Amino acid sequence: MISATKVALAAAAMLLAVSAAADSYPVKPIRLVVPFPPGGTTDNLGRQLATRLSQRLGQQVVVDNRGGAGGNIGADLVAKAPADGYTLLFGTVGTSAINASLYHRLPYDPKKDFTSVAPFASVPNILVVNPLVPVKTVAELIAYSKSRPDTLNMGSAGSGTTNHLSGELFKSMTGASFIHVPYKGSGPAMADLLGNQIQLMFDNLPGSLPQVKAGALRALAVTSAARSPALPDVPTMAEAGVPGYVAEVWFGVIAPKGLPPAILDRLSREITEISSEKAALDKLAAQGATPLASTPAEFEQRIRNDTDKWAKIVKESGASID
């Protein structure tokens, strides 16, 4: 029979080993799982963070794109990874807050399987249309879609993404009529929007910003409560005639449950400092993004609040995925 003393000594030794590992962290490359394909906003922001985090940590942070199922494939991979700080998720409001109410069954539990590390940035969505669509305002789009029911196609980065749900919320609040066409990421959707295979999209602002500035897409409204400094002439959805409509997207780093406190503190501190660096601020602003900074506890509370908010939107819109 093992004595209580031996058990206590074993436990103490284990804690010392964990502490030593945390103190030396990181000693090898870190994998940052981006749960969407290359080319979209999540990927662009994730790579921006990975580059700077590599420099600060002294180990390469490798982006691993694992797209599919509204971000669930990548999130599940991280949920089942060792909680040692070497596999991290560049999560979104979708993977951490929306999918819990949108999907009937998830391979992971957003509330129980993760450790909230630090937010990085937030962006509004932007309602953009192909210039061949003969509308210049939100009101004109609503009227045009009602006069031609189900002839306009709305692309998204995938069923259940904020692109999709922003469109569903818009339809429920305005009575607009269009068909949802899900893609495996916003990059492929953008290609078809530029080619007029689809006619509109509620895209993350950084993804559409270059095309709007180049005149390849027409911006009708942003979904944030305030106008974006990146496009100050584009009205908010409320200003465009849909009062009460607000939908913003955040991105941040999330780890498997059980991440050692010392590693959590190190990662949170590094990410928070990166988001306040002038170079990062300038780059985020150029992409239409706003930096976010908070403690792990505050980030966790943000996730809880958004889980409740988007659950209501999912229910009201009738959106669901089996």
281-315 tens-digit pLDDT: 999 988 888 899 999 999 999 999 999 988 988 88
**Residue 165 falls inside a structural domain:** yes
Q: What is the pTM of this model?
A: 0.79
CB 186, CB 36: distance < 8 Å: yes
Write the pLDDT tens digit of every residue in 186-195: 889 999 999 9
Mean pLDDT computed over 193-198: 97
Say whether both 20 and 95 belong to one domain. Answer: yes
- Can you tell me the distance from the alpha carbon of 35 to that of 31, in angstroms, rounded to the nearest whole number? 12
- Can you tell me the distance from the alpha carbon of 302 to that of 93, in angstroms, rounded to the nearest whole number? 9
The structural domain count of the chain equals 2
**Residue 93 falls inside a structural domain:** yes
Say whether both 101 and 137 belong to one domain. Answer: no
Say whether both 109 and 133 belong to one domain. Answer: no
Neighbours of 261 (CB within 10 A): 12
Say whether both 108 and 159 belong to one domain. Answer: no
**Residue 289 falls inside a structural domain:** yes
Say whether both 139 and 156 belong to one domain. Answer: yes
Which domain-ending residue is among 222, 240, 264? 222
Q: Which of 6, 30, 166, 149 is nearest to 94 (CA)?
A: 166
Mean pLDDT computed over 267-287: 93
Say whether both 213 and 128 belong to one domain. Answer: yes
**In terms of DSSP bridges, do strands 30-34 and 200-204 run parallel, antiparallel, or are they unpaired?**
unpaired
DSSP labels, 199-245: -EEEEEHHHHHHHHHTTSSEEEEE-SSS--TTSTTSPBTTTTT-TT-
Buried b vs exposed e over 293-316: b needs ≥16 C-beta within 10 Å?
bbebeebbebbeebbeebeebbee
Write the pLDDT tens digit of every residue in 27-38: 999 999 999 889
Give the three-class secondary structure for 250. Answer: strand
Mean pLDDT computed over 58-75: 94
**Residue 176 falls inside a structural domain:** yes
Say whether both 117 and 26 belong to one domain. Answer: yes
Both tokens of 51, joined, read 């580059």
Say whether both 108 and 168 belong to one domain. Answer: no
**Residue 167 falls inside a structural domain:** yes
Say whether both 14 and 103 belong to one domain. Answer: yes
**In terms of DSSP bridges, do strands 153-156 and 30-34 run parallel, antiparallel, or are they unpaired?**
unpaired
Domain enclosing residue 175, as ranges: 124-222
**Which CATH number belongs to the domain containing residue 50 in this structure?**
3.40.190.150
**Residue 308 falls inside a structural domain:** yes
Write the pLDDT tens digit of every residue in 213-229: 999 999 999 999 889 98
**Which CATH number belongs to the domain containing residue 135 in this structure?**
3.40.190.10
Separation in Å, CA 49 to CA 28, 53, 95, 199, 206: 18, 6, 18, 32, 15
Which domain-ending residue is among 169, 187, 222? 222
**Residue 322 falls inside a structural domain:** no
**Residue 243 falls inside a structural domain:** no
Phi, psi values for residue 41, rounded to 5°: -65, -45
Q: Is the pLDDT of residue 19 over 80?
A: no
Mean pLDDT computed over 65-70: 90
Highest mean pLDDT among 65-79, 150-164, 250-264: 250-264
Say whether both 165 and 207 belong to one domain. Answer: yes
Say whether both 107 and 79 belong to one domain. Answer: yes
Instruction: Please state whether the peptide bond connecting residue 26 to the residue before it is cis, i.e. omega within 30 degrees of 0.
Output: yes
DSSP labels, 137-183: SHHHHHHHHHHSTT-SEEEESSTTSHHHHHHHHHHHHH----EEEE-
Say whether both 10 and 62 belong to one domain. Answer: yes
pLDDT band at 14 (very low <50, low <70, confident <90, very high): very low
